Chain A
């Protein structure tokens, strides 16, 4: 143990990968929604629909990991802050509503889909940022 490099406070690469889903996928959905909203090219909406769904899969896994790390005591190398966990919860709820909105047909998705994608992208950015920041909360032991 003693010859291990000092990684205390750094997140696991796997956690970073999982948490890394939400921002690019949400941003992709946002850009696709934006294109659809004025070109009416339906393929953009198909892309957005899947990207929202994908961000929910990544977001769900990241949320589960974060909640476990925040509630289960133990030797966590990295424990995301409760604020990060809270942001992830809000992101998940908003993006879930966004997924339902995107399941409507054609322009029935607009403008709510675009607005929700903007909010979800900002939340994803903040949640991922905070989630990956070094935190001193979990390193004592």
Chain B
């Protein structure tokens, strides 16, 4: 296999010499889309992990950040319970089996950018009894789960999206451990599971769960048979477990959130790789019921992807454009709507956990950004909310799930340093923002 490692190393060396990719402004509803570009060597730039030491991520003025839990086993998403307790889903699915020579090489290289800790397959519960911001109590709420990721609290119960099923735990206020094994609501598509994370949110009335099911490949290289029930958002009835496709063509909808007031389902989507450093923009979008967002046939509206055969012009023509580009290769894995208690300029908008790029020479992402909203729609460019995850080209952490505590805090899971961060205001917020 060395015959393929060597050129990758050489390519890496030459890339370092040429510096970063150009980074055009790719924010907003009309991102600039360059021509497709892919040399003989795929761009792979992995930021090697390093520790935080006594350092912390950077926050905007008027905020502070604390690590409220460390030494977790790959924390991904968090859930706030009514009494203020925080549930942390920890785990990692086994990588899909290598299919081609490339998968062996790529797997080894990408492994360098993630934690070496084994996934916990469990839910950890964190408690701050006296409200001083120190989560002094910690326990295992449930274990022996299967790569749990999406979490939702509705109808007085805790719903967990494993990599292969949605399950429900009964919950009494103040409970610190599950009273028994969970009840399965429905199976989820899990064959191969190239994109295994199952993001989840619930409808405002608690009747439905929405689960993001990512594609089984980058761009159909495992064949279309592997893409049955993939690259979709499912709507699942919490009572019966019956499900239907809510929207499709979303390559990897790795974070879902329900918008306050409107109840609209929003998704953060990881778009396809190997078309160049500035293709294809990852995005956040309100999910229109029944809409087709392009994968695999088209990207960002009606731009056909030439790698997909047979082509389907009718699907390209039917492709809906997403709402808002956050830029290519940023890997959004967290999405949470803000609350007025966080104060201007963060009172109205969404937080996006950007896990960070690999398919790009100039590394992007590695931050929690904030996209301001006005009138329920994105209005303005993303700004840093939690940053400093990269230092001297090494990664100290990688943000995943983001949860907003309505009392005025933002909780961020970091799956590289195995930490949960909590960002709070150091001062009372300035005057309340004008009513929408």
Interface residues, chain A, CB within 8 Å of chain B?
40-43, 45-46, 49-50, 53, 56-57, 60, 96-97, 99-108
Contact = CB atoms under 8 A, between A and B. Distances in A.
At the interface, is chain B mostly helix, strand, loop or mixed? loop
Contacts of B223: 41-43
Nearest to B296: A106
Given A46-B99, A100-B7, A106 B221 contact: yes
Q: Which size bracket describes the interface of B in this complex?
A: 20 to 34
Given A104-B38, A105-B221, A105-B307, A46 B4 contact: no
A40 B310 contact: yes
B228 to A, nearest CB: 14
Contact of A106 (B38, B101, B102, B220): B220
Given A42-B223, A60-B3, A96-B3, A107 B306 contact: yes
A39 to B, nearest CB: 9
B35 to A, nearest CB: 14
Contacts of A99: 3-4, 101
Interface in B208-231: 217-224
Nearest to A105: B221
Contacts of B38: 104, 108
A53 B105 CA distance: 13
At the interface, is chain A mostly helix, strand, loop or mixed? helix
Nearest to B223: A42
A112 B278 CA distance: 24
B7 to A, nearest CB: 7
B4 A107 contact: no
B219 A97 contact: no
B41 interface: yes
A106 B308 contact: yes
B3 A100 contact: no
Interface in B255-274: 274
A134 B38 CA distance: 45
A107 to B, nearest CB: 4
B308 A103 contact: no
B394 interface: no
